[in-house]
Structure 1
Amino acid sequence: MVFYNRILKCFVLIDLKIGELKHQDLGQMQMYVNYYDREMRLEDENKTIGIVLCQIKSDLVVEYTLPENNEQIFASKYKTILPSREDLIQLISESR
């Protein structure tokens, strides 16, 4: 999915993956980010951000696939069910 964030003035690319995150998924996102930065981004816009959401995230895969100075691609785990009302209330009370 491709979005444009007006406040950040940049493209935001989101890729939803079913199952475990693979290094190919991050490489594919890097290719998309590079394309948008080189072909779509205007001079006054900020660099494209890539987000990969997956069911199972391996921190080791993320660490070794992305460059150390990476500030454009992010990988995160998602859940296929919503939290219960009680879980949300507890989370809110813990954050205060």
Structure 2
Amino acid sequence: MGERDLADIDERVVEQQIIHNVKNFIMTFGKDFTFVGNQYHLEVFEVEQYPDLLFFNRELNCLVCVELKKGGFKPSYLGQLTAYLRILDDTVKKPHENPTIGIILCKDFNKDFVEYVIQDYHKPMGVARYTTTAEMPEQFQRVLPNIEELRKVLSNQPTDK
């Protein structure tokens, strides 16, 4: 089995833990989140795509697409997420809703590198390390749980919320 296959399996394990604990996971995001689905089926031009997690945020009035990545950030993740956002905005988003927000949740990344390569992407996207940091835009800070809350959800521990 190749390195990519192992990474996919590890990402699916994290995803399944989140799905198993979806209520707690959503509560770490905040009360205005609704779970739409995991491995959400999208299809355009006979090409199928499957974003890891899809939520709707009532406060922001938009879909929130979350891609889980086990390892460090790779620029190719931005291209993948951009494709998902385009398809979601064209085929799923309602006319009265705001554009879909995309979040890449990965184990690690170089902030300067991410800021450098994300400059040419014009869709609302963010990259996070399984944590909320003061460096992120405020709308993303409200969206992402902090690392301790996420660890509790993934380990089946009760959260304080």
**Which residue of the partner structure matches residue 60 of structure 2?**
8
Please give the per-residue CA displacement for 1:46-91, whole angstroms capped at 9, x wherever unaligned: 0000010111112244223323574610001127x749xxxxxxxx
Q: More strand per residue: 1 or 2?
A: 1
Structure with more relative contact order (C-alpha pairs < 8 Å, separation 6 or more):
1
RMSD (CA atoms) = 2.2
1:19 aligns with one of 71, 76, 94: 71
Measure, in 2, the Cα distance between the counterparts of 1:53 and 1:22. Answer: 12
Unpaired segments ≥5 residues, structure 2: 1-52, 132-146, 150-161
Assess if the C-alpha contact under 8 Å between 2:67 and 2:105 holds in 1.
yes
Q: Does structure 1 retain, via aligned residues, the 8 Å contact 2:85–2:123?
A: no
Count of aligned pairs: 82
For 2:95, the equivalent position in structure 1 comes to 43
What is the identity percentage for the equivalent residue pairs of Structure 1 and Structure 2? 34
Q: Separation in 1 of the partners of 2:119 and 2:82? A: 10
What is the aligned partner in structure 1 of residue 108 from structure 2?
Answer: 56
Aligned-partner residue type, residue 130 of structure 2: Y
1:50 aligned counterpart, secondary structure: strand
Output the TM-score relative to the length of structure 1: 0.72
Mark the structure with the bigger radius of gyration.
Answer: 1
Structure 1 alignment gaps of length 5 or more: 84-96
- State whether structure 2 residue 120 is matched by structure 1 residue 65: no
